């Protein structure tokens, strides 16, 4: 990570009008529609932002959007970077460093995930309370990390308690059934074997996915409060495992997305 590159990325976005956003929002796979609700949007395609990772073919639509949501200035990532695309930990978290530098004070994250806890069903929303990093590395493992924040980032409470309480209250008021639990991150892109799903359950995971944890580690390093929500797209029952269809995962994410948008919208209103 180089300060100079970060400064150039930020200068480009400020020049475009990304003016002091308060909240950063990361939209996961199949969860891009919240971006349509941003008022007076200014868009910056990832491929045009200096030093941003180059978007791969599948994610050519990737962009940062600045605008107003429920009266607050936000910056939204429509599409994120994953290790399985061949990026490294610094690449996939680069947008978090940039949004922090732009001035965000809170970070909202969403993702699509498989349900390991079999009480949880496809189409449920899960508030992430804690996580297990199974990606085999850290976005903070670079030489000059201490220039930016804590090298030995504290992870005793990685997800902000106050915002979690608010989400729970909102879900209750809005009649949205809300699961809570532990998210395990894997590299992917292959889905898990039956034996791996059994292992994840033994480890204490309630959901599994291929993102989020690196972003959360960086946010903790930067003292940025986080709230994160998983949209559960498939049930990972090792005793009755059917082939997983990625299109089905995307379809379930899209169908469940309105609940996530509602939770984020009401959370922003409450801040
Ligand atoms: N495993 C890993 N990642 C996922 C899954 C899964 O079952 N579902 C959605 N993302």
**Which residue's CA is the closest to the ligand 1 atom numbered 3?**
209
Q: Is 207 in the pocket of ligand 1 (CB under 6 A)?
A: no
Using the predicted structure, report yes or no on whether residue 92 has a pLDDT greater than 90.
yes
- Of 70, 76, 95, nearest in space to 32 by CA: 76
pLDDT at 111: 95
Percent of the chain with pLDDT over 70: 98
pLDDT in tens, 23-73: 999 998 878 889 999 999 999 999 999 999 987 766 556 899 999 999 999
Using the predicted structure, report yes or no on whether residue 1 has a pLDDT greater than 80.
no
Return the SS3 of 34: helix
Q: Which atom of ligand 1 is nearest to the CA of 186?
A: 2
Which ranges in 135-270 belong to alpha helices (H)?
161-173, 194-203, 213-221, 246-270
Return the SS3 of 76: strand
pLDDT in tens, 142-194: 999 999 888 999 999 999 999 999 999 999 999 999 999 999 999 999 999 99
> Phi, psi at residue 188, to the nearest 5°?
70, -160
Q: Which atom of ligand 1 is nearest to the CA of 210?
A: 3
Q: Is 229 in the pocket of ligand 1 (CB under 6 A)?
A: no
pLDDT in tens, 219-245: 999 999 999 999 999 999 999 998 888
* Residue among 122, 249, 255 whose CB has most ligand 1 atoms within 8 A, to mutate: 249
Q: Is 208 in the pocket of ligand 1 (CB under 6 A)?
A: yes
pLDDT at 55: 72
Q: How far is the CA of 248 from the centre of ligand 1 (A)?
A: 11
Q: Is 235 in the pocket of ligand 1 (CB under 6 A)?
A: no
Contact in structure between 3 and 52 (CB atoms under 8 Å): no
Contacts of 198 (CB under 8 A, 6+ apart): 238
β partners of residue 181? 128
**Which residue's CA is the closest to the ligand 1 atom numbered 8?**
114
Domain ranges in the chain?
Answer: 3-270
Sign of CA dihedral 176, 181, 187, 190: negative
Q: How far is the CA of 241 from the centre of ligand 1 (A)?
A: 13
**Which residue's CA is the closest to the ligand 1 atom numbered 6?**
114
Which ranges in 127-245 belong to alpha helices (H)?
161-173, 194-203, 213-221
Specify the long-range contacts of residues 49-53, CB closer than 8 Å, at least 24 apart: 49/9, 49/12, 49/13, 49/98, 50/5, 50/8, 50/9, 50/12, 51/5, 51/6, 51/8, 51/9, 51/94, 52/9, 52/94, 52/95, 52/98, 53/81, 53/87, 53/91, 53/92, 53/94
pLDDT at 63: 93
Mean pLDDT of all residues in the chain?
A: 94
CATH fold for the domain made of 3-270: Rossmann fold (3.40.50)
Averaged pLDDT for residues 204-229:
97
pLDDT at 117: 98
Averaged pLDDT for residues 132-146:
95
**Which residue's CA is the closest to the ligand 1 atom numbered 9?**
113
């Amino acid at each position: 990570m180089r300060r100079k590159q970060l400064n150039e990325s930020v200068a480009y976005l400020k020049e475009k009008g990304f003016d002091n956003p308060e909240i950063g929002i990361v939209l996961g796979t199949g969860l891009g529609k919240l971006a349509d609700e941003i008022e007076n949007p200014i868009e910056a395609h990832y491929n045009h932002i200096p030093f941003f990772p180059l978007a791969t073919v599948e994610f050519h639509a990737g962009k940062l959007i600045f605008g107003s949501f429920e009266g607050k200035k936000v910056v939204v990532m429509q599409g994120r970077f994953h290790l399985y695309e061949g990026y490294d930990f610094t690449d996939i978290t680069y947008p978090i460093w940039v949004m922090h530098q732009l001035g965000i004070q809170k970070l909202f994250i969403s993702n699509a995930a498989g349900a390991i806890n079999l009480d949880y069903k496809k189409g449920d929303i899960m508030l992430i309370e804690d996580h297990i990093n199974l990606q085999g590395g850290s976005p903070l493992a670079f030489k000059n990390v201490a220039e930016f924040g804590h090298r030995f980032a504290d992870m005793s409470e990685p997800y902000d308690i106050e915002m979690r309480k608010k989400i729970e209250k909102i879900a209750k008021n809005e009649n949205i059934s809300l699961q809570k639990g532990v998210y395990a991150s894997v590299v992917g892109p292959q889905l898990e074997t039956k034996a791996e799903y059994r292992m994840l359950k033994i480890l204490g995971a309630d959901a599994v996915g291929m993102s989020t944890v690196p972003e959360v580690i960086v946010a903790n390093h930067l003292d940025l409060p986080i709230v994160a929500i998983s949209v559960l797209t498939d049930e990972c029952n090792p005793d009755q495992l059917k082939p997983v269809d990625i299109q089905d995962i995307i379809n379930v994410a899209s169908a469940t997305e309105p609940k996530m948008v509602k939770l984020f919208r009401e959370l922003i209103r409450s801040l």
